[in-house]
């Protein structure tokens, strides 16, 4: 392995990493991304293999980061001044290690019987947390419209906590065609509709969730079999009762999981 | 009403507002807080009454903010340069209006049959979104340990989207005593335990949720009647499947709501 200590922001490798940290187009072109933190890097190693490059800040590393560096002793490592490292990291309190990795292409399931279509979610933390919930609920594939943020950005990966490494994610889908061709029930989560709890969910199902402000586009609402809603406690009394998109997604996906477990 | 245009950061009223924006102790002492955005201010007016002061940035206001200003024409209003306004706001993309308001004290329910105890959640956005979910699920009171962040900070209010105005929140509770004296079932959400779905939840219930990293403290785990867990799709196969605290809370509270609706 090679160890490099880089201290200039003009270093071409560092400039390249900065571009990858900030720019979805650059990541797509090169099919690589940056992972932050021991947990995500370990998950990558466990599911995909070794990173191309490890990046650490100057100064004392955490015990976990040191262990990981030892375990990956044959991977090239780059050390950076603290501030240069911080400029690559997706959050302020970075855990002190990052990795450059190829974006994996997970095989798609042959027959899909539990899927999620996400329309136009632009916040990477929100998108990541929806993918994390989907993986935990047993969703087999997540479809993302063109209006969604990059599922492989460092922030979305952080929100996903490794979900992107086990749940196949298909980006830039043609949402209407997908809904029309889905071999099973297609249900859009909406403010108004049939009660979620009255839907039998053991046959193949595709849930469609949208962006909290805008809701699901009219085109998709008319393409799905039904709009479903999560009944709230005092619906109508005050407009204050509502759920954020990630919470609503969690409730719907786990209702499906619950019905299937008890079937 | 009085209208003031303030342009100096040394203005004593502005300095006072800065303190209130940043400092939980100051807010507690004066029993006031800052609300950001048309939606939250409207919710306040609808449930509590008029704010003490409205704060707007220089320049053109949004249509919604202009409407609200007209509706609240007899409330004192302060106009600030854009950057000074931004320094008071909890998020970068502020909707262009804030309000100084007394923190309401909502009456506690006589008999509690659905409650939530939140232990040591430090992220204000997370805490806010848990309170929002709790209000939507029909929780009657939310108890917060001393280790939780201020439920009335501008960021927590934004995450709650008005939940704090309809759901009574009791801060600094003695968690163990509360659990021991609760007249009903006390259930801690944990990584390991009985399945959530096998719990009958129609009798009075108190859910206990903790911070994602640390989990629920051992003291609380032994005080509750049972630890319950949300079954995941491929539990044990990979350590990658997990839920964030807000998603787990949403699933548990709405499972309770579902059982009660279908009872």
The secondary structure element, H or E, covering residue B178 is: helix B175-181
In B, which residues are within 8 Å of A191 by CB distance?
none
Facing B250 at nearest CB: one of A43, A139, A250: A250
Are the beta carbons of B196 and B231 closer than 8 angstroms? yes
pLDDT of B237 over the 50 cut: no
B122 part of contact set with chain A, CB < 8 Å: no
pLDDT of A253: 97
In A, which residues are within 8 Å of B115 by CB distance?
none
Q: For residue range B87-128, what is the model confidence (pLDDT) as tens digits?
A: 999 877 677 999 999 999 999 999 999 999 999 999 999 999
pLDDT bin (cut points 50, 70, 90) of residue B242 is confident
CA distance B139 to A41: 38
The answer for A 175-214 residues in CB contact with B (under 8 A) is 195, 197
| Cβ distance of A132 and B231 shorter than 8 Å | no
Are the beta carbons of B128 and B161 closer than 8 angstroms? yes
| Cβ distance of A165 and B246 shorter than 8 Å | no
pLDDT of B52: 97
pLDDT of A169: 97
- For chain A, residues with pLDDT lower than 50 are 236-237
Strand order in the sheet with B76-80: B3-5, B76-80, B53-57, B98-102, B32-36
A137 part of contact set with chain B, CB < 8 Å: yes
Q: Can you tell me the mean pLDDT for B8-15?
A: 97
**Which tokens belong to A175?**
């949402």
| Cβ distance of A243 and B135 shorter than 8 Å | no
**Three-state SS at B128:** helix
Region of residue B15 (phi > 0: left; psi between -120 and 50: alpha; otherwise: beta): alpha
Do strands B205-209 and B114-118 pair parallel, antiparallel, or not at all (unpaired)? parallel
Facing A233 at nearest CB: one of B46, B137, B241: B137
CA distance B237 to A79: 34
Other Cβ atoms less than 10 A from the Cβ of B83: the count is: 10
Are the beta carbons of A17 and A87 closer than 8 angstroms? no
By CA distance, what is A165's nearest residue in B? Answer: B240
* 3-class SS string, chain A: CCEEECCCCCCHHHHHHHHHHHCHHHHHHHCEEEEECHHHHHHHHHHCCCCCEEEEECCCCCHHHHHHHHHCCCCCEEEECHHHHHCCCCCCCCCCCEEEEECCCCCCCCCCCEEEEECCCCCHHHHHHHHHHHHHHCCCEEEEECCCCCCCCHHHHHHHCCHHHCCCEEEEECHHHHHHHCCCEEEEEEEEEEEHHHCCCCCCEEEEECECCCECCHHHHHHCCEEEECCCCCCCCCCCCCCCHHHHHHHHHHHHHHHHHHC
pLDDT of B238 over the 70 cut: no
pLDDT of A238: 53
Are the beta carbons of A146 and A170 closer than 8 angstroms? no
By CA distance, what is B161's nearest residue in A? Answer: A240
CA distance B157 to B160: 5
- Our CA-based measurement puts residue A128 at a distance from the nearest CA of chain B, in whole angstroms, of 11
By CA distance, what is A257's nearest residue in B? Answer: B233
Q: What is the DSSP letter of B181?
A: H
B238 part of contact set with chain A, CB < 8 Å: yes
Facing A166 at nearest CB: one of B139, B240, B250: B240
Token pair 């709650």 is found at B160
In A, which residues are within 8 Å of B128 by CB distance?
none
Q: Would you kindly state where each structural domain of chain A is located, as residue ranges?
A: 3-102, 114-262
Q: For residue range B192-214, what is the model confidence (pLDDT) as tens digits?
A: 899 999 999 999 999 999 987 67
pLDDT of A239: 56
Contacts (Cβ under 8 Å, ≥6 apart) of A213:
none
Distance spanning both ends of chain B, measured CA to CA: 53
Token pair 């509360």 is found at B178
**Three-state SS at B157:** helix
Facing A135 at nearest CB: one of B163, B241, B255: B241
In B, which residues are within 8 Å of A137 by CB distance?
232-233
pLDDT of A114: 97
pLDDT bin (cut points 50, 70, 90) of residue B32 is very high
pLDDT of B92: 72
Q: What is the CATH number of domain A114-262?
A: 3.40.1280.10
CA distance A207 to A205: 6
Q: For residue range B176-194, what is the model confidence (pLDDT) as tens digits?
A: 999 999 999 999 999 889 9
Facing A136 at nearest CB: one of B136, B242, B257: B242
Do strands B3-5 and B76-80 pair parallel, antiparallel, or not at all (unpaired)? parallel
| Cβ distance of A47 and B238 shorter than 8 Å | yes
For domain B3-102, which CATH number applies: 3.30.1330.30, 3.30.565.10, 2.40.10.10, 3.30.479.10?
A: 3.30.1330.30
Which among B198, B138, B130, B205 has a CA at the least distance from the CA of B166?
A: B138
Q: What are the distances in angstroms from CA A66 to CA A6, A12, A32?
A: 19, 26, 24
ipTM of the complex: 0.90
Counting Cβ atoms within 10 Å, is residue B253 exposed (0-12), middle (13-18) or buried (19+)? buried
CA distance B244 to B211: 9
| Cβ distance of A251 and B246 shorter than 8 Å | no
**Which tokens belong to A75?**
């991977």
Which among B127, B219, B143 has a CA at the least distance from the CA of B182?
A: B143
Q: What are the distances in angstroms from CA A200 to CA A142, A230, B189, B215?
A: 21, 14, 27, 33
Interface test with A, best of B254, B257, B263 (most A CBs within 10 A): B254
What length does chain A have? 263
pLDDT of B150 over the 50 cut: yes
A165 part of contact set with chain B, CB < 8 Å: yes
B125 CA to centre of own chain: 8
What residues form DSSP beta bridges with B148?
Answer: none
Q: Can you tell me the mean pLDDT for B45-53?
A: 95
pLDDT of B21: 95
A104 part of contact set with chain B, CB < 8 Å: no
CA distance A149 to A146: 8
One fold for B3-102 and B114-262: no
Interface test with B, best of A48, A198, A200, A240 (most B CBs within 10 A): A240
In A, which residues are within 8 Å of B229 by CB distance?
none
**Which tokens belong to B45?**
């007016």
């Amino acid at each position: 392995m090679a160890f490099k200590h880089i201290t200039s922001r003009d270093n071409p490798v560092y400039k390249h990493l900065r571009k990858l940290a900030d720019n979805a187009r650059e990541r797509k072109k090169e099919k690589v991304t940056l992972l932050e933190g021991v947990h995500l890097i370990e998950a990558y190693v466990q599911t995909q293999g070794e990173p191309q490059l490890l990046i650490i800040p100057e100064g004392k590393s955490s015990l976990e980061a040191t262990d990981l560096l030892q375990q990956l002793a044959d991977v090239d490592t780059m050390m950076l001044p603290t501030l240069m490292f911080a400029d690559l990291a997706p959050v302020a309190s970075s855990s002190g290690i990052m990795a450059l990795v190829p974006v994996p292409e997970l095989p798609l399931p042959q027959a899909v019987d539990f899927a999620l279509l996400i329309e136009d979610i632009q916040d990477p933390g929100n998108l990541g947390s929806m993918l994390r919930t989907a993986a935990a609920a047993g969703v087999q594939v997540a479809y993302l419209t063109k209006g969604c943020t990059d599922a492989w950005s460092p922030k979305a990966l952080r929100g996903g906590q490794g979900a992107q490494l086990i749940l196949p994610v298909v980006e830039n889908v043609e949402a209407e065609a997908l809904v029309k061709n889905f071999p099973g029930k297609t249900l859009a989560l909406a403010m108004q509709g049939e009660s979620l709890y009255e839907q039998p969910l053991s046959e193949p199902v595709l849930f469609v969730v949208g962006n909290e402000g805008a809701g699901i586009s009219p085109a998709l609402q008319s393409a799905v079999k039904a709009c479903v809603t999560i009944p709230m406690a005092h619906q109508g009394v005050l407009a204050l009762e509502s759920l954020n998109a990630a919470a609503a997604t969690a409730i719907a996906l786990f209702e499906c999981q619950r019905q299937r477990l008890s079937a």
